[in-house]
Amino acid sequence: MINFVAENERILKEWCNKFVEDKKKEKKYIGEDIEKFFAYDGIMNKGEFAFDENKSDGTIIRKPSGNENTLWNDCPLRVLFLTKEENTGGDENTVGDEAWDVRAETFHEKGDLLPPDNKTISSSFFYCNEACLLYGLLNTKPNKKILFDSFSWQEALEFSDEKIFARINCKKEVGGPSISDYILQKEIGKYYDPLKAQIINLDADILICCGSQNDENLILNTVYDIYEKEFKYMNFIDGKGTGMHYNKKRNKLAIDAYHLAYFKGGYKARYSEIIDMYYEFLKIYPDFVNSHRDNK
């Protein structure tokens, strides 16, 4: 069995070392422990829930179980969210707060209770959109589209607690509430090799590229480059963009998506534009939902 978790950690440590050396040259990092501004990510933790000891606001995190590698290895349909960066209030001239480990994130609302007593989903647009998409993608079949109104927030939350999935930030340095395409492209270009290695290692089946902006998606473009232009746009509905890009050779689907915090039109609109097109894709490739693992 491939050790995805160990290889991901190796890639990130090498990436972080290079990051630290590069950032020593920047004025804003003088006197700072630079490594703390590098965000680790990958396969989500599935161990016990706990309160984040670094925060006093009731943020709920999850610890590693030690079983993440087996869960990912055996997962019939691996979902990877590709996002831009962490928002810690920094910018080009200020460092902002320190990074957190993406793998420890949960979609539970902050509070005094831990799961299973805490059954409330986060008020964050980002986490709500992520939880809904995970639920819809893994439950929609060629003969059954999961409509937004057919499940509750609690169901989506509990599903995210149960299922293994992954998230990678294409820019590991913490940032602010928004990032220009110029800065994102610059960072992706500078650290392209470790980003490629990280994505290739996790070997996901569905890659949700959360970077669509101004009719351009730099994250999707990067996925195209990593897989040597093997993805092809699925133009199966005349006059309407589908957002579906299929790699038939490797049986992978890349989805052109907005930033997970994007809220124009509301949760239902954000969810439906992806799940509706995914359902149409499955009509053409119904076997896509079958297990992608040789050992299943």
Are 58 and 111 in contact, with CB atoms under 8 Å apart? yes
Q: Determine the residue type at 197.
A: A
CA 31 – CA 291 distance, rounded (Å): 50
Residue whose entry in the numeric block shows the structure tokens 């016990």: 48
Burial of 59 (0-12, 13-18, 19+ CB in 10 A): buried
Query: What are the boundaries of each domain within the chain?
Result: 4-289
pLDDT at 110 over 80: yes
Q: Which of these, 98, 84, 63, lies nearest to 209 by C-alpha position?
A: 84
- Other C-beta atoms lying within 10 Å of the C-beta of residue 291: 12
Average the pLDDT over each of 8-12, 83-87, 100-104 and give the range with the smallest value. Answer: 83-87
Say which DSSP state 76 is in: S
**Mean pLDDT of the 223-234 span:** 95
Render pLDDT for 58-75 as a digit per residue (tens, 0 to 9). 999 999 999 999 999 999
What percent of the chain is modeled with pLDDT above 70? 99
pLDDT of amino acid 164 = 98
Stretch 250-256: mean pLDDT = 97
Q: What is the pTM of this model?
A: 0.95
Look at residue 34 in the predicted model and tell me its pLDDT: 95
- In this structure, how many other beta carbons lie within 10 angstroms of the beta carbon of residue 231? 23
